[in-house]
Structure 1
Amino acid sequence: MTKTVRQREKEDYLGTMYAMKRKDHQIIKAEIARELGVSAAKVDRLSRELTEEGYLQRDGSRGLFLTPFGLSKGQEWMERKRCLTEFLCLVSGVDRSLAQENACAIEHILDERVLMGIRMFMQSRHTYSYTMRESDLNLMFPEGKREFPAAFFEKGTSHPRILSEEYWDFEKKAKAVICRESFLYLCPAAEKTEIRALEYSEKDRWERAVREKNGFAVPARTLHCILRQSGRISEGTVPIRTLKENGQWHECILAVSLI
Structure 2
Amino acid sequence: MNDFRKQKILAILEQKGEIQLQKLKEFFPDVSTMTLRRDLIALEKEGYLIRTHGGAISTKKLWQLTGQEDEYSKRAQENIEAKMKIANIAKGLVEKNRSIYFDAGSTIMCLAKILDSDNFTIITSGLNIALELVKKKNVFVVMLGGIVNSNTLSVSGPNAIFSLDRMNIDIAFMSASGFCLETGFSVSNAYEGELKKRIIEQSQKVVMLMDTSKVGKNMPFSYAMLEEIDIWVCEKALPEDIEKAARECGVKILY
Report the TM-score, using the length of structure 1 for normalisation.
0.24
Which gives a bigger RCO, structure 1 or 2 (Cα 8 Å, sep 6+)? 1
Larger Rg: 1
- Structure 1 or 2: larger strand share? 1
The structure where helix makes up a greater share of residues is 2
TM-score scaled by length of structure 2: 0.24
